[in-house]
Amino acid sequence: MGSKGEGGNNFITYTGMIWLLAAQLAVMLPFMFDLPIWLVPVLLFTAGWRLRVLAGLSSQPGNVTKVALVGLGLGGLLLSGLKFPSLDAMAALLLLGFAFKSLEVLQRRDAIVVIFIGYFLVALQFLYTQSMLAALYGFLSMVVLTGALVGAQQSVVEFSTGQNVRFNLRLALFMLLQCLPLMVVIFVFAPRLPPLWSLPLSTGQAKTGITDHMAPGDIEKLGKSDELAFRVTFKGQRPAQHELYWRGLVLNHFDGREWRQFEQDYDLPALRGALHTSYRWRPGNVQAQGEAIAYEAIYEKTGQPWLFTLTPAMQVEGEVMQGADYRVMARQELQAPFLLKAVSYPQALRDVQLDPYLRRLALLLPASGDARSRDLARRLWQETGNPQAYLAKVLERFHTRGYEYTLNPPTLGDSDTIDGFLFDSQRGFCAHYAGSFVFLMRAVGIPARVVVGYQGGEWNEAGQYLAVHQYDAHAWAEVWLPETGWQRVDPTTVVAPSRAEQGLEAAVQAEGSFLADSPFSTRKIAWLNGVRQQLDAVQYGWRRWVLGYDQEEQAALLKSMLGSLSVVKVALLAGSLFSAIAISWLVLLGMARRRPREALEHRLYRQFCAALAKRGVQRSPGDAPGVFADEAAAALPRLADSIREFTQVYEGICYAPDATARASTRQLKALLRKLS
């Protein structure tokens, strides 16, 4: 049913199977970052078996073998820890079938089914990542798939191996490039619908970045990661570095070790309900003053709803919710890059009259525990007697008592953690300082709360935007004071002023702990850091103008092209572009319908005939190669052996093609040189 180099009209060839295997590998590899990696060996095993069958070295697997393999594959999926039902499980099941299909690829139609599944899987990969690199790889996968589609139609060896690869890839690329203008027109003019990749990938997907609780050591872990959190473009002048406090969550509940936003783990539907009742956003509680800061932020996928803005964000565009604690949240967990446009007034007065519910939250403390810290708070309050002086006294203690800022603080145990930090270790990260400061405020009846988010960011000169990474994660405090409302207080800057002015790297430079777990980070090599920033600027452009191309961006673009928008204008423009593309296709197809390129062996034979003609032996148009060889050998007896050998090799290529065709054409060239 097909040996190497053979194939009936409907059966796939050995070369076609090689193409199919290459296409399957290209399609499956990106999924290995998110799905079980053992799927690739399964593909190699099944494809290897199929190749041996085509080469006549193995027999076709029977139905019992196929059922057994499918059972083993399903068992492997069950043991891989994937949740059922979920998109991860469904994608893994589809990939398993995609690999096993190799076992029964016999005819062209079987290969075409596999290739069409491959096209679907290329689209499915964008549910996992939408980066520009993923888009480029997806295009390359499409080229290989289309090359395999071309290869599946080849029933005999029409070219040498190198010629086959070049021909298939060139034709595949030509076909896909013809589709590019149509793709652009559809992208620009088609109604903008919510992307499929906004759906959750699985019921148990990993969450990244800042969470809704803070224990000693949590934010330090983020401080060792250079993963991107979000990027920001400012509409006007960029604020100073020390003013860039990106607010995410407010943590009010402390259990002696951990700070949380709520007493229990949050449920997103319940949280939505809370933001519409007692915890809802109250614009009237803000008195705007100072200069406004307008900006756009694109947040990376985290699997969480938290967004990070300058406080307070008075004008927000996007599918978001706002809370009474000045948080901004997406309505769904972020499963894709999320664009937010906002205007903030950092100097505004907030909650000059504090709501009783918020006051109660800002005074919560455990009934017992951390006795030394409570005694310290009482002594300092007796020495000062008013909130402003007390606040200054606490900050002075951090500044003068030998406290240190470090990414590697000692552990504090599970109880009396505030005492352990203030009196014993005195070495900590931002979470230690913010948490202990808020504890000391609440211990004397001053409303205070912990705020977690990011501070600062890396300015990208090439792209003119701010990139905020996980190592910029930060915690600070807010204190409520009469007549001024909520005020930001960052006790970390008392110990390490460079943290807010120059960033984490400068703050921990002495101990050398910045990205210590990433010794090969490009940030540590000057010229590589410049390349990284350039590439990041390109990626930001992709996020902003391609993934961020929504209904508003589409309307703005069409208005710039057409002036006022109307259905008739848009239809005429789109119709004109479609017509232009159709005409271009017709022209390109007409240009492509040229005489097929002459095979190399035929060109060499024409040169052979021309060389003999110069010696006086002319070939008649009706002479077969063997007849002409006999005539030429008789006329040129000194060259008779070379003439007959050349003709024999030529006839072998024409009438008995095999994998040695390339070597044979080289032999023809050598013989031709003897006759010239």
CB 353 within 8 Å of CB 320: no
Whether 110 is catalytic: no
Report long-range pairs for 547-550 (Cβ below 8 Å, ≥24 apart).
547/130, 547/336, 547/337, 548/298, 548/337, 548/339, 549/187, 549/192, 550/192, 550/339
R_g (Cα) of the chain, nearest Å? 35
pLDDT band at 518 (very low <50, low <70, confident <90, very high): low
Whether 430 is catalytic: yes
Residue among 88, 351, 490, 536 flagged as catalytic? 490
Whether 325 is catalytic: no
Residue among 88, 416, 474, 536 flagged as catalytic? 474
Judged by average pLDDT, the poorest of 35-49, 399-413, 632-646, 660-674 is: 660-674
- Strand 293-299 vs strand 228-234: parallel, antiparallel, or unpaired? antiparallel
Q: What is the pLDDT of residues 536-565, one digit of tens each?
A: 888 888 877 777 777 777 777 788 878 777
Q: What is the pLDDT of residues 206-220, one digit of tens each?
A: 566 788 888 776 777
CB 360 within 8 Å of CB 263: no
% of the chain exceeding 70 in pLDDT: 87
Q: What is the pLDDT of residues 77-125, one digit of tens each?
A: 888 877 777 778 888 888 888 888 877 777 888 888 889 999 999 988 8
Residue among 110, 325, 351, 430 flagged as catalytic? 430
CB 599 within 8 Å of CB 156: no
CB 18 within 8 Å of CB 72: no
Average pLDDT over all residues of the chain: 83
Would you list the domain boundaries of the chain?
A: 14-158, 213-517, 530-592, 600-675
Question: 10 Å Cβ neighbour count for 246?
Answer: 26
With CA atoms as reference, report the closest residue to 635 among 607, 614, 652, 606: 614
Task: Spell out the alpha helix ranges (H) of 503-566.
Answer: 504-507, 526-542, 551-562
What is the CA 594 to chain-centroid distance, rounded? 42
Segment 256-264 mean pLDDT? 83
Q: Coil, strand, or helix at residue 480?
A: strand
For every residue of 320-355, DSSP letters joined together read: EEEBTTS-EEESS--SS-EEEEEEE-TT-EE-SS--
Q: How far apart are CA 355 and CA 496, in angstroms?
A: 34
306 forms beta bridges with 329
Q: How far apart are CA 46 and CA 20, in angstroms?
A: 12
